[in-house]
Structure 1
Amino acid sequence: MQDLKPNEQRSQNAILLIWIALAMNCISLISSYFQYDLLQTAANGGKISAEDITSNDNREQAIGIIQIIVFAVSAITFIQWFRRAYFNLHLRVNHLSHSEGWAAGCWFVPIINLFRPYQIMKELFQETHLFLKRNDIFTNEHFSTSSLSLWWTFWIIDRFFGQFVFKYSMKAETIDELTTSTIAEMVSNGIGIVLAIITVNIITEYSKLEPLMHKVKIVE
């Protein structure tokens, strides 16, 4: 039987990029607050120089571009880890619900990407625990479907709320609209921070289980 492929480096890469994404969310949150303060000054009749406006716009644009790049790279590293984990489980469990390729492809298919990644992640934890238990390998790690449900709930909220914020901010022109857009951006960044922490915890938890499958001696 084929040996499990190493996945530790992929998990470390995914976690590192998620932490970087979290840091960018924090930076964006602070930057949005500065923008909010600037808008409040304008709304209250305070004087704002052209330099202040240009500096704010340049800062927000630069942070936005970096966030997009970091998110893209973070998504790639996460999916690489996710697919390798499901691939390894396929080597030990022959009754999984989906092919290994779906662990990557499901994120890009409309409608399906609203539930299939969660189903595969849940199956990863459930089947790995069952496999280890069947082979008398016990662990202190306790699988909780509630933690995965929380993770996926925040993922869905982050996705749709982020789309709303982006579309609204593109149309915002008045001070009131820009203020609402800025507040929404701060909320969006807060959601992203919570999502990042939950995701890191999930990867870390599964990364403690996966190496235990190496201890199981498979009889050809």
Structure 2
Amino acid sequence: MLTQPAVPETAPVCPDHAGAPSTGTCERCGRFLCEQCRLPHSGVCAACAARQVQALPSTRGRAQLASGALVLGAVLTLPVAMLNLWLFASLDNGRPSPEDAASYDLMNGLIAIPTLLTMVTTMVLYLRWLRLSVRTANALGLSNESTGWATFCWFIPLANLVKPFDVVRELWQGVGGDPRRKAQLTAWWATWILGNILTNISTLLAGADTAGATTLDTSLIIGLLSEGLSVAAAVLCIRVIWDIESLLVARRAEAEATLGAATR
């Protein structure tokens, strides 16, 4: 009695894994794909994914620009902290002298301009890096995140407390991030959120003080804490950027090696 073959002779099979039944075709070149060679979040084969990635610019330049802007922002935090510390040491019963207040306002105004410009530049450069990184991960079949949502979720109230972290975490996991380094991601986001909260509290207290409350000293202390957290968040963000960048480079190299093998 003849035994029934595991795969009918007429059934399509994968050209790379002999005998493996096809579960579909590549959306780009039409070749048969099996479960072993189908990319997790993509309907294309590994060779076509590599071609898609080759059409994208490298993320390295954008990672360097974003990191440089973060370093500059951290450096500009130093004169702000020194100015706040000077005013705190000059307080008399919770209030500065008129001369000290005038000097503080003048210096604070001068520092505020480059600080604001650096903050906006950092935001733009960081989001350009993140957007291209997500596009690259999508092309590699390692993510299905929308590049538009990954960018604009930073500007949506309430959603921007959680979703940006989810985007970066899923990108990091998709490209092969080490689970043992997951605490670094959490620390980055925690310091970023807490630093912003303390900045808002410091601003509110300073405004209350001008209305007659004696809370300027508390405002300055909280401001110093927020500036310290901002520096920590910048350092951690740079480390996250380069962790993801190194993993993306490795995944791109693997895809290009696959394409090279397929074209030989």
Name the SS of the counterpart of 1:148 in structure 2. Answer: helix
Which structure 1 residue ranges, 5 or more long, are not aligned?
131-140
SS at structure 1 position matched to 2:57: coil
Which structure's residues are more often helix, by fraction?
Answer: 1
- Which structure would you say has the larger RCO, counting Cα contacts within 8 Å and 6 or more residues apart? 1
Partners of 2:196 and 2:226 within 8 A in 1: no
- Structure 1 residue runs of 4 or more that deviate by more than 6 Å after TM superposition: none
2:118 maps to a residue whose letter is: V
| Counterpart contact for 1:90–1:100, Cα < 8 Å | no
Between the two proteins, what is the percent identity of the paired residues? 20
CA apart distance, 1:182: 1.2
RMSD: 2.4
Q: CA offsets, 1:128-152, max 9 Å, x none?
A: 118xxxxxxxxxx776221111111
Distance 1:73 1:184 in 2: 26
When Rg is computed on C-alpha atoms for both structures, the one with the higher figure is 2
Q: TM-score, normalised by structure 2?
A: 0.70
Q: Residue 164 in 1 paired to residue 162 in 2?
A: no
Aligned to 2:64: 12
Equivalent residue pairs, number: 205
In the TM superposition, residue 214 of structure 1 has moved relative to its aligned partner by: 2.4
Distance 2:221 2:94 in 1: 17
2:188–2:233 Cα contact (<8 Å) kept: yes
**Within 2, Cα distance between the matches of 1:161 and 1:26?**
17
Contact 2:73 2:118 in 1 (8 A): yes
Corresponding position: 1:29 with 2:66: no
Which aligned pairs between 1:104-183 and structure 2 lie closer than 5 A?
104-129=151-176, 144-173=181-210, 174=212, 176-183=214-221
Matched, 1:202 2:249: no
Alignment of 1:86-101 (within 5 A): 86-93=134-141, 96=144, 98-101=145-148
Structure 2 alignment gaps of length 5 or more: 1-50
Amino acid at match of 2:202: V
Task: State which of 103, 109, 130 in structure 1 corresponds to 2:150.
Answer: 103
How much has 1:164 moved relative to structure 2?
1.8
Give the CA deviation at 1:153: 1.1
Residue 37 of structure 1 and its aligned partner are, at CA, apart by 1.2
2:102 to 54, 59, 71: 54
Q: Whole-Å Cα distance in 2 between the matches of residues 87 and 172 of structure 1?
A: 48
State the one-letter code of the partner of 2:82. I
| Deviation of 1:68 (Å) | 2.1
Cα 1:183–1:209 change in 2 (3 A) is same
